[in-house]
Amino acid sequence: MTMQPDSSSPSPEAAPPVGMIVIRDLVKKFHGIPAVAGVSFTVGAGKVVVIIGPSGSGKSTVLRCINHLETPTSGEIWVDGIKLTHNNKDINAVRAEVGMVFQQFNLFPHLTAIGNITLAQKIVRKRGEQEARRVAHEQLERVGIPEKADAYPGQLSGGQQQRVAIARALAMNPKIMLFDEPTSALDPEMIKEVLDVMLKLAKEGMTMAVVSHEMGFARNAADEIIFMDRGAIVERESPANFFQNPHEERTRQFLSQILH
Amino acid sequence: MAEERRLSLDPSRQSRIAPGLERMADWPWWLIVAILIGLVVVFQVVTNQRMSVIFGAIAAGIGVTIRVTLSAYFLAVIIGLFVGLARVSSNRVILNIASFYVEVVRGVPILVLLMYIAFVAVPLLVTGINGLGGRLGIETALGAALAKVSTRNISNELRVIIGLAVAYGAFESEIFRAGIQSIERGQMEAARALGMSYVQAMRYVILPQAVRRVLPALGNDFVAMLKDSSLVSVLGVEDITQLTKLYAASTFLFFQSYSILAFIYLTMTVLLSRGVRTLETRLSAHRR
């Protein structure tokens, strides 16, 4: 008995859509008020998507739905071919493949840099102490602060903390990295050191979804820029087109506000 | 005139009026008085034959006091930890059961709770266990053992330990809940985003931080438990308070007996407070 997969209502056996991150008709409401109102996009493997938009446009919420820190109200999300459901086991499995970097770093203050980077490796990836430490040192090297291995977060500058946070996420060997305004809480002179690390990651072929106000980074690293407003996508463009000749009036208005 | 004003504004000049008195006013006089009284008691106990007899009679209960305090506190912290976790649970059933326990226990005086558990709850529990043994059948080994349990098998000491643990468990749970809720939401999110389960995130990320934060409060309750362990004397458990009551009643040496009793409690609480503070300092070493 054969069944023809129907495109309008895919059967559970239907092949997952192509793309590292696939989002279809994502809706997220908070207390009945929609923060994200029907968003669909795909991030291909090795691609960098930068999501920009005014505050309250729902860009962070979209990012947080990708690893289920927020439970979508409706819509579908596939991460590397795995469909996200409400099943906790699936969610934890997907989360281990998706690294996330937060605006407020969220390092664990009771652990050293090494402790921060090895913890999840040991209890989620089941790596031994030796291997976890080796990976941690590698990642600290990669983000450029190998000498801070034994420092506690409280002893590090904001930029260093954010780089440890990136190393912590990378140590899990994620297939995707999500960045939620990674430089918004940093002093101006520390922004560059974090952006440099992100740029390096992008060049190495990491699949990235970045919510940021850093237009320089968007211009240099993005394969695609998504402009959101009021919970919906206003415009999707390559960086060149986005900055040179945006189609939508709302985009032009926004760009004129932030590009001086 | 100008000279005078400058003089009065200069604090170092002012203190020169009576330099010795000025400095002595800052001394911790209360501590000096307390230490002196303590020394007098120690001197009396060591040199005075009668006092050393009283001390010996009362000190025989120190073991019981310490045992009751330690076991009840240990149980209370475990109860408090789990009930505290239940109080931050998103599961409504667990949350309501835990809240019921906490609110009921906090609303009843500890003394009443102790008597209730010793004279009502424990006998009821024994009846229940006997009934379960009967259901299983006295032919089976387990059934026979359960049916044989008698209220008399459960010592008063065990009952007051359970009572104190249940009472303090409610307080400790509030401490743990406050500690857990004081940890920034981002910590749980970061742990979950790394693929940890809720339980793993609690165990390795939230609780280690929360416990450090609430250590002073937990330490306070340890000292409070030591003091409240004196309530067990009401049920005839022979701790230092009960032994003092008995000794004073039979010899009419109330002043000496109760002075020594207060002295023993004070010594233990002061030492305990210092120990807790040392532990706090050591555990907060990373907050530089």
The answer to whether residue A23 scores a pLDDT higher than 70 is yes
Q: Give a yes or no: residue B102 inside a domain.
A: yes
Q: Token pair of A219, please? A: 């211009």
For chain A, the domain total comes to 1
Question: pLDDT band at A244, cuts 50/70/90?
Answer: confident
Residue A202 belongs to what H/E stretch? helix A188-203
The single-letter code of the amino acid at A27 is: V
Q: Give a yes or no: residue B39 inside a domain.
A: no
**CB contact (8 A) between residue A69 and residue B212:** no
3-class secondary structure, A30:
strand
Q: Give a yes or no: residue B10 inside a domain.
A: no
List the single residue in A69, A99, A104 with the smallest CB-CB distance to B192.
A69
List the single residue in A123, A155, A168 with the smallest CB-CB distance to B204.
A123
Query: What is the ipTM, given to two decimal places?
Result: 0.88
Question: pLDDT band at B196, cuts 50/70/90?
Answer: very high
Percent share of chain B, pLDDT over 70: 92
Nearest chain B residue (CA) to A103: B186
**CB contact (8 A) between residue A102 and residue B192:** no
Measured from the Cβ of residue A156, the count of other Cβ atoms closer than 10 Å reads: 18
Q: Give a yes or no: residue B13 inside a domain.
A: no
List the single residue in A95, A104, A123 with the smallest CB-CB distance to B193.
A95
Q: Which structural domain range is residue B89 located in?
A: 53-283
Helices (H), A17-112: 59-66, 88-97
Q: Give a yes or no: residue B16 inside a domain.
A: no
3-class secondary structure, B286:
coil
* pLDDT score for A10: 46
**CB contact (8 A) between residue B286 and residue A172:** no
Of the residues B189, B194, B286, the best mutation for testing chain A's interface (the one with the most A CB atoms within 10 Å of its CB) is: B194
Q: What is the pLDDT of residues B109-165, one digit of tens each?
A: 999 999 999 999 988 988 888 888 888 877 777 788 888 777 777 888 999 999 999
* pLDDT score for A6: 44
Q: What's the mean per-residue pLDDT of chain A?
A: 89
Q: Token pair of B205, please? A: 């990320």
Q: Give a yes or no: residue A81 inside a domain.
A: yes
- Which whole-number Å values give the CA distances from B191 to A112, A122, A162, B148, in the listed order? 15, 13, 15, 50
Question: pLDDT band at B10, cuts 50/70/90?
Answer: low
* pLDDT score for A5: 43
For chain B, the domain total comes to 1
List the single residue in A69, A100, A123 with the smallest CB-CB distance to B200.
A123
Residues of B with CB under 8 A from a CB of A: 184, 186-187, 189-197, 200, 204-205, 208-209, 212, 286-288
Q: Give a yes or no: residue A123 inside a domain.
A: no
Bigger pLDDT: B161 or B31? B161
Q: Give a yes or no: residue B17 inside a domain.
A: no
**Distance, CA of B50 to CA of B219 (rounded, Å):** 36
The answer to whether residue A213 scores a pLDDT higher than 60 is yes
**Distance, CA of A42 to CA of B43 (rounded, Å):** 84
CATH number of the domain bearing residue B232: 1.10.3720.10
Q: What is the pLDDT of residues A88-145, one digit of tens each?
A: 677 888 888 899 999 999 999 999 999 999 999 999 999 999 999 999 999 999 999 9
Largest CA distance in chain A: 65
CATH number of the domain bearing residue A99: 3.40.50.300
Residues near B194 by beta carbon (within 8 Å), at least 6 away in sequence: A95, A96, A119, A120, A124, A168, A169, A172
Q: Which structural domain range is residue A39 located in?
A: 21-107+175-258
* pLDDT score for B286: 54
Is residue A124 within 8 A of residue B196, CB to CB? The reply is yes
**CB contact (8 A) between residue A154 and residue B187:** no
Minimum distance, in Å, between the CA of residue A93 and any CA atom of chain B: 7
**CB contact (8 A) between residue B286 and residue A96:** no
Q: Give a yes or no: residue B208 inside a domain.
A: yes
User: What are the φ and ψ backbone dihedral angles of B27, each rounded to 5 degrees?
Assistant: -65, 150
Nearest chain A residue (CA) to B199: A123
**CB contact (8 A) between residue A168 and residue B194:** yes
Q: Which of residues 21-60 of A touch B (CB under 8 A)?
A: none
Q: Give a yes or no: residue A73 inside a domain.
A: yes
**CB contact (8 A) between residue A110 and residue B189:** no
Q: Give a yes or no: residue B65 inside a domain.
A: yes
